[in-house]
Amino acid sequence: MKPKETESLDATRHSLAHLLAMAVRELYPGAQNAIGPAVENGFYQDFDFSNAHITPLHSPLGRGEKARGVQISDADLPAIEKKMRELLPQWKEWTKKEVTLAQVKKEFAWNAYKMELAKEFAKERKTLTFYVCGGFVDLCKGGHTLPLAEIDPKSFKLDRLAGAYWRGDEKNKMLTRIYGLAFATKKELDKYLTMREEAERRDHRKLGQQLDLFTLSEQVGKGLPLFTPKGALLRELLNAYSQELREKKGWQKVWTPHITKSELYKTSGHWDKFGGELFLVKSQETKDELVMKPMNCPHHQQIYASRPRSYRDLPLKYMETTTVYRDEKAGELLGLSRVRCITQDDSHTFCRPNQIEQIYQELIDVTKTFYKSIGMQIRARLSLRDQKRPDKYLGEPKLWEEAQRILLKIAKESGLDYFVAEGEAAFYGPKIDFMAVDALGREWQLATPQLDFVQPKRFGLTYTDETGKEQTPVMIHFALMGSIERFLSVYIEHTAGAFPLWLSPVQATVIPISDKFASYGAKVKDALVKENIRVEMSDANETLGKRIRAAELMKIPYILVVGEKEEKNGTVNVRRYRGGQPSSAQAAAGEDGEIKLGQLTEKIRKEITEKQYEI
């Protein structure tokens, strides 16, 4: 039977995972292939090499190695990739065959992983199928490209190795995962590889060390970053701007403790949904079971509940920048992208249903202003619930339908560039996720206003309406950056560490060409300090070229060189950081070169005040 042909890239990637399995099994007889799906940008295949040996042609000794158990490394990938290309011309047609469990056992008795899956599928009364291509047989549910032999053999390559527990369970055996990349054409593959090289250059972990922004310490613990003075200043500048924008719209600061009784999260529903991610704290004195807070919303609801509320009080707008704590798996922690201490520029609004659109419009305006100021384009994702999985969500279906209708109306009337994503809602309500696009074209979910009809009802929150009747308020959750740590991981990579002037921890550095001009350099520095410009001055222990290069490596926006001519004329020689080299057009426009000190301070102050984005 000929399976249904598909031209999708995912189908090609899936087929290549099978081809990889065949190549490995020919080179390493006895290797057991487990699963091999298509993934973003390519595919992977998991292998158990504990019973494998090396074929004579692949053996470094020119003969088969009979000792069982092989360990491969990245150095072996080119040979495996070469074998895949040798086999590729044979992969012309897939044949599908429905089989019994007995037939699977006969074919795959040597493969414990295929047998485990087959037995599980048979128990669930699922159809067992073999797919055959190029003489290779595999247990698979299908979804392949026909014919694979016609793809460009240079449009894929093996990428790297990783360890992976069988079925993602740490109690199971660690397998060897081989990742491959695959695209429609070699040109697209090359483009991706170039982009990835650039992403590695922009890696926020490397830049965080280079620019002295943050560090990680094994003694402190995984997922618990420490911010240096420069990194802490960067956080504070971003948070101050975030709060400033919301304060102008009426949000007020509150403060809540970092621990709480576990009952609070049982009431909110977080305990049942995320209990495994909570850090528990035991009181030695009272023996109370406490929790390191994983989110702020239940705390802010308790402030709301602290006194009777009238419709005249609404909307009530609270905001708090604070750290919450979640016990993320150690294997998922990564720099600032995934941490255990998450600082949120959080806010919660309690309002009447007829105020929802007004609040959302204010939050949309805040979001647009903030992301324009930092030079990131955004679009909106309407994150709705999965209609097929109602058990994932709290609240009445009728309320969900109303909430989703309101968000769709807001998105249309606000002129948002939006798309709909079912299944991405929070467990208590739908939301608008603002997706920011970075310099490499990658999309990140950052700001998110979330509509919540559920939690206020669970906590019994009320207000008295015009008729004296009690009503339940609507709650709108919002974080402009989301997690400041994760936001910084994205933003450092977006800017490659070259922050806009208003955000740069050091905005200018003064470089006298020799000690003879240090006093004039100090005068220039003092003039900038008086204007609240963050400035440093380098000493003359190194050559002028080395000091300029050091400032460029730190990506300082204004490099100010002073010498005899500048001292005589009351000027500075300006070099703007733009990847280290000013363009002739920029120089012609007067953005680089000699300028009066007073004009320079005025120019810098204006750029900071207007939060111009220029890198």
pLDDT one-digit tens code per residue, 371-416? 999 999 999 999 998 878 877 887 778 878 888 888 899 899 888 9
Q: Where are the domains of the chain?
A: 9-198, 208-495, 501-609
Rounded to an integer, the average pLDDT of 26-42 is 94
pLDDT band at 68 (very low <50, low <70, confident <90, very high): low
Task: Write the pLDDT tens digit of every residue in 72-94.
Answer: 999 999 999 999 999 999 998 88
Residue 57 has pLDDT above 60, yes or no: no
Could you tell me the CA-to-CA distances from 185 to 11, 155, 192 in Å, in that order?
15, 5, 11
431 in catalytic set: yes
Burial 192-220 (b: 16+ CB within 10 A, else e): eeeeeeeeeebebbebbeebebbebeeee
Task: Write the pLDDT tens digit of every residue in 207-247.
Answer: 999 999 999 999 999 999 999 999 999 999 999 999 999 99
pLDDT band at 517 (very low <50, low <70, confident <90, very high): very high
Mean pLDDT check: name the lowest of 59-73, 355-369, 473-487.
59-73
Exactly one of 32, 243, 344, 507 is catalytic; which is it? 344
Superfamily of domain 9-198: Threonyl-trna Synthetase; Chain A, domain 2 (3.30.980.10)
pLDDT band at 61 (very low <50, low <70, confident <90, very high): very low
Exactly one of 144, 326, 525, 576 is catalytic; which is it? 326
pLDDT, position 365: 94
Task: Write the pLDDT tens digit of every residue in 123-165.
Answer: 999 999 999 999 999 999 888 877 888 899 999 999 999 999 9
Averaged confidence pLDDT in the chain? 90
Mean pLDDT check: name the lowest of 360-374, 391-405, 509-523.
391-405
204 in catalytic set: no
pLDDT, position 585: 37
Burial 347-377 (b: 16+ CB within 10 A, else e): bbbbbbeebbeebbebbbebbeebbebbbbe
Residue 302 has pLDDT above 60, yes or no: yes
Per-residue three-class SS string for 401-439:
HHHHHHHHHHHHHCCCCEEEEECCCECCECEEEEEEECC
pLDDT band at 181 (very low <50, low <70, confident <90, very high): very high
CATH number of the 208-495 domain:
3.30.930.10
Considering the domain delimited by 501-609, tell me its CATH architecture.
3-Layer(aba) Sandwich (3.40)
pLDDT band at 56 (very low <50, low <70, confident <90, very high): low
Residue 614 has pLDDT above 70, yes or no: no
pLDDT, position 552: 93
Spell out the residues 6+ positions from residue 109 whose beta carbon is closer than 8 angstroms to its own. 115
Q: Tell me the whole-structure pTM to 2 decimals.
A: 0.82
Which residues, in sequence order, are bridge partners of residue 282? 289
User: For a pLDDT cut of 90, what percent of the chain falls above it?
Assistant: 72
The span from the CA of 492 to the CA of 337, in Å, is 11
Mean pLDDT check: name the lowest of 73-87, 450-464, 476-490.
450-464
Exactly one of 297, 338, 340, 345 is catalytic; which is it? 297
Rounded to an integer, the average pLDDT of 255-270 is 89
pLDDT, position 2: 38
pLDDT, position 55: 63
pLDDT, position 520: 96
pLDDT, position 177: 97
pLDDT band at 612 (very low <50, low <70, confident <90, very high): low
Mean pLDDT check: name the lowest of 116-120, 178-182, 271-275, 430-434.
271-275
**Sign of the dihedral defined by the CA atoms of residues 184, 189, 192, 194, in that order:** negative
Exactly one of 300, 340, 385, 477 is catalytic; which is it? 477
205 in catalytic set: no
344 in catalytic set: yes
Residue pair 174/150 in contact by the 8 Å Cβ criterion: no
Selection from 37, 38, 45, 13 nearest residue 145 by Cα = 13
326 in catalytic set: yes
